Structure formats: structure tokens, C-alpha cells
Amino acid sequence: MRVLAQPAYVLHARPWRETSLIVELLTRDHGRVGVVARGLQGAKRHPLRAALQPLQHVRADYLPRGELARLLQAEAVDAAPRLQGEPLMASFYANELLLRLMPRQDPAPELYERYGELRLALADAAGLAWQLRRFERDLLELLGYGLLLDSAEDGDPLDPAARYRLDAERGAVRDRSHAPGSTSGAALLALAGDRCPPPEQLAELRGALRGVLAAHLGPQGLKSWGLLSELARLGRD
């Protein structure tokens, strides 16, 4: 049965054969869907090819066929954000997270909406780090990997002045040794309450959430982690 006029965001597109693309979509009603877009050469097909760029919001018609559907048509809903530098790298990162963690054809309408919010927020480079931490938190929650961020593994409320290690299975584990990589209770409470913390606590949350994500990703990390680290290093030089 054909799927018609399905709202979707383009996460990734890669060449397939000589004139086609394999495109990964985050759809509103069907989750992540892989589609084959055939015959994209020629001036008449340029609007379709332009609509299949990452970050583009589209309405897509496709015919499900096993693992990869056949794309029948797609049209842009709006103009994709024009991003450069860190915001562009952040969009690659968010898309790669979804591609690695989100199974195909598993409906996730809340994640579709959350991605749309992040897409709009990426243009604000000043608040970029906080928006990424919020997206990581919400992504884990919506995929069933969420953790309690306002209480420790034993059920006690977090102490803002204490240090904790964020474990992918156990949640916040008290770290009395203050080992490198530990996170303040205040930072975790801020994330739980959706309040942007001070810069030093925001940096702690980056490491803590990366550790949780790495546990779910397995031994192969994300390519975008290396790109973001290199971009940050160049910014300091």
C-alpha cells in the first residue's frame, strides 16, 4: 500500500548506482524509513534531488518494499536551515545519532516533533551546546533508554553539591572519589528541570551523556564526535 504525502525530514542521502540515491527519512507516522530515489539526473529531476538534501522537510510519497521503500515523489515543505561551522556539524551529529540508534519502521511521532524543534534551534550558535544536551536527553527517553536525572540509583534525591557518574543502566551513581568524568548533582538537576546550567556544568553534561550514548552505540563510536572535537580544537587555536 502506498504511503502518500507523508511529512518527513531528510536525515541522510548517499549515491546508489549511477543516477539514484538511498535516502533515510524521519517520518511523522512511520519512524525512520529508507527509500530508493531512482533516476535523479537531468534538469527535470533537479527539484526532487534538491528536496532530498539532509535537514530538508518534505512531503513524500513512497511504496514500501521490504527494507527499502521506493520513493515515488517528494516535495519540499520549506527551505532547509542554511548552517555553517558548529551548527552544521551539530546537525550532522543529530542525524547520525538517529541513524545509529533508531530502528527502521518503528513509529516515533514525538521524536519527529522533537527533531523539528532542534532543526529550528540549530541556527542559534550561542545556545547550541544546551540544545544538543536537551536533544540527547529526550532522544534517550523517547527510545526507551531514559534515566532518572533527579535521583540517584538508590532512590535518594540528588545532592547538588555531590558528584555522580551517569551509568547507562543504573542512572546517577554517587562518586565520592570525585574521579575525572564525574558530574555535579547540580548539573544533572538542571538537565532534569530543563534549565540551562552554567558553562562548566554544561561541559560536564556533555561528557556524561556521551558516556551513556556510547554504551548504547557499542564499540563503534560516531564519526561526528571526532569532527566536533576537531572543530572545537581549531576554535581554540
As a whole number, mean pLDDT of residues 136-149 equals 96
pLDDT at 39: 85
As a whole number, mean pLDDT of residues 195-202 equals 96
pLDDT at 205: 97
Closest CA to 201 of 178, 184, 179: 184
Three-class secondary structure assignment of 86-147: HHHHHHHHHHHHHHHHCCECCCCHHHHHHHHHHHHHCCCHHHHHHHHHHHHHHHHHHCCCCC
Q: Are strands 31-37 and 68-76 parallel, antiparallel or unpaired?
A: parallel
Strand, coil or helix: what is 155? coil
CATH fold, domain 85-236, is de novo design (two linked rop proteins) (1.20.1440)
Identity of the amino acid at 94 = A
By the 10 Å C-beta count (0-12 exposed, 13-18 middle, 19+ buried), 11 is classed as: buried
- 168 has a pLDDT exceeding 70: yes
Strand, coil or helix: what is 43? helix
Cβ-based neighbours of 51, under 8 Å, separated by 6 or more: 10, 58, 74, 75, 76
Which residues on adjacent β-strands are paired with residue 32? 26, 104
- 227 has a pLDDT exceeding 90: no
Mean pLDDT of the chain: 92
Closest CA to 125 of 83, 94, 81, 80: 83
pLDDT at 166: 96
Strand, coil or helix: what is 11? strand
Is residue 82 a contact partner of residue 27, using CB atoms and an 8 Å limit?
A: no
Contacts by 222-226, CB closer than 8 A, 24 or more apart: 222/93, 222/96, 222/97, 222/100, 223/96, 224/89, 224/92, 224/93, 224/96, 225/93
Q: Where are the domains of the chain?
A: 3-76, 85-236
Better pLDDT: 85 or 4: 4
What are 26-58's pLDDT values in tens digits?
A: 999 999 999 999 988 776 778 888 899 999 999
- 235 has a pLDDT exceeding 70: no
- 69 has a pLDDT exceeding 90: yes
* 219 band by pLDDT with thresholds 50, 70 and 90: confident
- 172 has a pLDDT exceeding 50: yes
- 137 has a pLDDT exceeding 60: yes
CA distance 10 to 20: 15
pLDDT at 237: 45
- 226 has a pLDDT exceeding 80: no
Residue % of the chain over a pLDDT of 70: 95
Is 3-76 a CATH 2.30.110.10 domain?
no
- 234 has a pLDDT exceeding 50: no
